[in-house]
Chain A
Amino acid sequence: MNTVPGFRVISLPRNTTVRVHRRSATIVLTLVVLALFVLMLTVATGAYEITGNDLVATFLGGGSDMDQFIVLRQRLPRAVADLLVGAALGLSGAIFQSISRNPLGSPDVVGFATGSASGGLIVILLVGASSVASIAVGTIAGGFATALFVYLLSSGGGKVSERLILTGIAVGAMLASVNDYLITRATLDDAETAKAWQFGSLNIISWPHVIPLAVLLAVLVPLTLTMSGPMRVLEMGDDSAHALGVEVGKTRVWLLCAGVALAAAAVATSGPIGFLAMAAPQLARKVSRSPGISLLPSMAMGALLLGAGDPLAARALSPFQIPVGLVTAALGGLYLLWILTWRKG
């Protein structure tokens, strides 16, 4: 294989090779290290003070009951959840942006996240169940139903990405008013719960919330990464991809399913975190200067953004905790405006 500037070819067994974008690889490594550093910082600091020695002791199974409780059952699950949710959203955004060949085709812009939220709200408010599993069922069903609806409507012809985005916006606008309606129907207590969830917050996260997401990610991430080759080819257009031997329809459906599942799982854990899925792949692409959307950097960027953003949002006005989803929505909205206004072409 020819050498391409900026890439490194790594030989694998069975006569296969992988081309690695050098800068991207460095960036992924840096982002992961940063994310882990943020994780440690989040666990070690906070309103409850704990010394370094006690911290180490706690992790090794010692320490007082209070230390154990605060560190292992309060801070650690939340910090881990931050990283996992961020990674899931970053990956999901990368998939959607690649399929729609457009930075704006991410799940939160095209209404999938709103649909997931509708599903979750229906479960919380109408069914009256607020356990993790039932909310997850709601968000995943809502996300898939919305995705199917938008995808079917937009698959008629014309430019795929444009249709997908505009249809998604219209469907999202409709679902947003459904969500508002559901909230007015509830009692104030239920509405407060639903609101805290709908705004995207990791305030009440505990291990039972984190485990299902971790399991799902463990399955979906390797699956998605194996599809990154065909995904790249698909970016060149349906005809070219077909000519190069990619099963266009099948690949796209699988990628869409993985993307929706990832977004829905994240929404189930934390509620919708606005615009993270849109921003993470774009920022990752900017930093790594890679030619297209790439999965691993987007994932690492998502994890870092939420891993750092959540503690900041939660502690900036302590003891009042701002839901991180609102902060990302406000910043992400500005970022989107900036993309629209100043990005060329």
Chain B
Amino acid sequence: MRRALTPLTGLLGLGLIVLLVMTSVAIGSRPIPMSDVWQGIWHRDRSTESIIIWELRMPRTLLALTVGAALGIAGAVMQALTRNPLAEPGILGVNAGAAFAVVVAIAGLGITSFTGYVWFACAGAALASTLVWAVNQRAARSLDSAGNAQTRLLLAGVALSACLGACTGIITMFDQDAFDSYRFWVVGSLANRDESILMAFLPFAAAGLLVAGLLGSSLNALALGDDVASSLGVRVALIRVLCFAVLTLLCGAATAAAGPIAFVGLVVPHVARLIAGPDQRSILALALIIGPALVLAADIIGRVIARPGEIEAGIVTAFIGAPVLLRLVLTQVRSAR
């Protein structure tokens, strides 16, 4: 069956996002009826509803959408770059690298503003993704079977995450206050993020998404192998560098904004591939819809199921994503046999 991205799919996706945004704005400790939500979004005034909507819930909702888009696209780019369907910035330790750098910046250098530590997060993400990729290259060269190389990449990610996580742990051991905010940040939460974080995060996300958007057809060629890609006129090295730039910007900034949210980058490209087939351009386009929808849905679920408290979005995505990983792993190994 030939699958392709149709305008209808796009429209359905946008409709889903609008629906989720309205739900996200409506739900909270003070519920707002749907009709008032519509009213409040379009007519910004000094009424209580409007203030709640625009100052509390809208920034959080928009942040969820942007973080979702960033992580979804990062996952798609990473899977295309490594040619490994199990690749994901969370599992492979890229988010852990960003998290480690942020903790270093906060505890070591006393930087507490988002605009300050987001650079550290990007540097950490860059370092971690380069390292994991180097391991992947060596593994791919020294091994015969594809299944083995995939396992190795995953294990390298686990090792890197564990290593960085332990270093982060040592730093937070020193400082009880740092630990108290760290334990909420490390699970990936969208709570208590104000408009300034959203505004500071947007340029990073926009730059990353823009570059990723230009990469689609080159990534298609890259899927055929480095040699074929270069004979098709793709400058493989340049594309790789651009992929790393995308990963760095998107994972670093998203982690700095919302904490290390795992599994979004794994689930999104797979769902996109199910809907639209293997064309990277369609996958990237769909990831722009599925990613935001997933993170926002996770955030809404987390707010609803544990009332009056809430479960952080990162934990909800882990519970959605880990079974997907499990299923993928089991089918992968079966087919690699």
Cβ-neighbour of A174 out of B134, B319, B333 (below 8 A)? B319
| Closest CB in chain B relative to A21 CB, distance in Å | 29
Chain B contacts for A173, CB-based, 8 A: 91, 262-263, 318, 322, 325
A340-B139, A341-B139 as given contacts; A169 in contact with B158, CB under 8 Å:
yes
Cβ-neighbour of A170 out of B139, B183, B329 (below 8 A)? B329
Docked Cα-Cα span, A173 to B169, in Å, equals 17
Q: Are B147 and A109 in contact (CB under 8 A)?
A: no
Closest to A180 in B: B187
Chain B contacts for A138, CB-based, 8 A: none
Closest to B171 in A: A326
**Which of A2-10, A46-54, A188-196, A214-222 is the contact stretch?**
A188-196
Q: Are B187 and A158 in contact (CB under 8 A)?
A: no
For window 87-128 of B, CB contacts with A under 8 Å fall at 91
Chain B contacts for A326, CB-based, 8 A: 166-167, 169-170, 173
| Closest CB in chain A relative to B166 CB, distance in Å | 4
| Closest CB in chain B relative to A123 CB, distance in Å | 19
Closest to A150 in B: B326
Cβ-neighbour of B166 out of A163, A171, A172, A327 (below 8 A)? A327
For residue A297, CB closer than 8 A to chain B, the reply is no
Q: Are B337 and A158 in contact (CB under 8 A)?
A: yes
For window 301-345 of A, CB contacts with B under 8 Å fall at 320, 322-323, 325-327, 329-330, 332-334, 336-337, 340-342, 344-345
**Which of B43-51, B60-68, B280-288, B309-317 is the contact stretch?**
B309-317
Q: How many A-B residue pairs have CB under 8 A?
A: 155
Cβ-neighbour of B315 out of A159, A177, A191, A342 (below 8 A)? A177
| Interface size bracket, B side | 35 or more
Chain A contacts for B138, CB-based, 8 A: 341-342
| A contact patch SS | helix
For residue A167, CB closer than 8 A to chain B, the reply is yes
Docked Cα-Cα span, A293 to B161, in Å, equals 27
Cβ-neighbour of A162 out of B161, B169, B187, B333 (below 8 A)? B333
For residue B159, CB closer than 8 A to chain A, the reply is yes
Closest to B322 in A: A174
Cβ-neighbour of B163 out of A104, A181, A337 (below 8 A)? A337
- Max chain A C-beta neighbours (<10 A), residue from B154, B158, B323, B330: B158
For window 246-273 of A, CB contacts with B under 8 Å fall at none
Q: Are A330 and B333 in contact (CB under 8 A)?
A: no
Chain B contacts for A337, CB-based, 8 A: 131, 135, 156, 159-160, 163
Cβ-neighbour of A274 out of B134, B154, B162 (below 8 A)? B162
Docked Cα-Cα span, A100 to B255, in Å, equals 35
**Which of B174-182, B205-213, B221-229, B245-253 is the contact stretch?**
B174-182
For residue B307, CB closer than 8 A to chain A, the reply is no
Docked Cα-Cα span, A188 to B186, in Å, equals 15
Docked Cα-Cα span, A225 to B143, in Å, equals 35
Q: Are B187 and A336 in contact (CB under 8 A)?
A: no
For residue A165, CB closer than 8 A to chain B, the reply is yes
Chain B contacts for A320, CB-based, 8 A: 173-174
Docked Cα-Cα span, A109 to B176, in Å, equals 29
Cβ-neighbour of A156 out of B152, B180, B323, B334 (below 8 A)? B334
| Closest CB in chain A relative to B14 CB, distance in Å | 30
Docked Cα-Cα span, A340 to B311, in Å, equals 36
| Closest CB in chain B relative to A41 CB, distance in Å | 24
Interface size on A, residues (CB 8 A): 50
Chain A contacts for B162, CB-based, 8 A: 274-275, 329, 332-333, 336
For residue A157, CB closer than 8 A to chain B, the reply is yes
- Max chain A C-beta neighbours (<10 A), residue from B184, B187, B329: B329
Closest to B163 in A: A333
Chain A contacts for B311, CB-based, 8 A: 181
Chain B contacts for A104, CB-based, 8 A: 155
For window 283-319 of B, CB contacts with A under 8 Å fall at 311-312, 314-315, 318-319
For residue A197, CB closer than 8 A to chain B, the reply is no
Q: Are B155 and A165 in contact (CB under 8 A)?
A: yes
Chain B contacts for A283, CB-based, 8 A: none
Chain A contacts for B325, CB-based, 8 A: 170, 173
Q: Are A336 and B166 in contact (CB under 8 A)?
A: no
Docked Cα-Cα span, A163 to B151, in Å, equals 9
Chain A contacts for B263, CB-based, 8 A: 173
Chain A contacts for B165, CB-based, 8 A: 329
For residue B35, CB closer than 8 A to chain A, the reply is no
Q: Are A341 and B156 in contact (CB under 8 A)?
A: yes
Q: Are A192 and B176 in contact (CB under 8 A)?
A: yes
Chain B contacts for A233, CB-based, 8 A: none
Q: Are A340 and B183 in contact (CB under 8 A)?
A: no
B-contacting residues of A (Cβ < 8 Å)? 104, 109, 153-154, 156-159, 162-163, 165-167, 169-174, 177-178, 180-181, 183-184, 188, 191-192, 195, 199, 274-275, 320, 322-323, 325-327, 329-330, 332-334, 336-337, 340-342, 344-345
Q: List 25 A-B contacts (CB under 8 A).
A: A153-B326, A153-B330, A157-B334, A158-B334, A159-B333, A162-B336, A167-B330, A169-B329, A170-B325, A173-B262, A173-B322, A180-B183, A274-B162, A323-B169, A323-B173, A325-B166, A326-B170, A329-B165, A330-B163, A336-B156, A337-B156, A337-B159, A340-B155, A340-B159, A344-B142
14 additional A-B pairs beyond A167-B326, A340-B135, beta carbons within 8 Å, are A153-B326, A157-B334, A162-B336, A174-B319, A177-B318, A177-B322, A184-B183, A320-B173, A325-B166, A329-B162, A329-B166, A340-B139, A340-B156, A344-B142
A-contacting residues of B (Cβ < 8 Å)? 91, 131, 134-135, 138-139, 142-143, 147-148, 151-152, 154-156, 158-167, 169-170, 173-174, 176, 179-180, 183-184, 186-187, 262-263, 311-312, 314-315, 318-319, 322-323, 325-326, 329-330, 332-334, 336-337
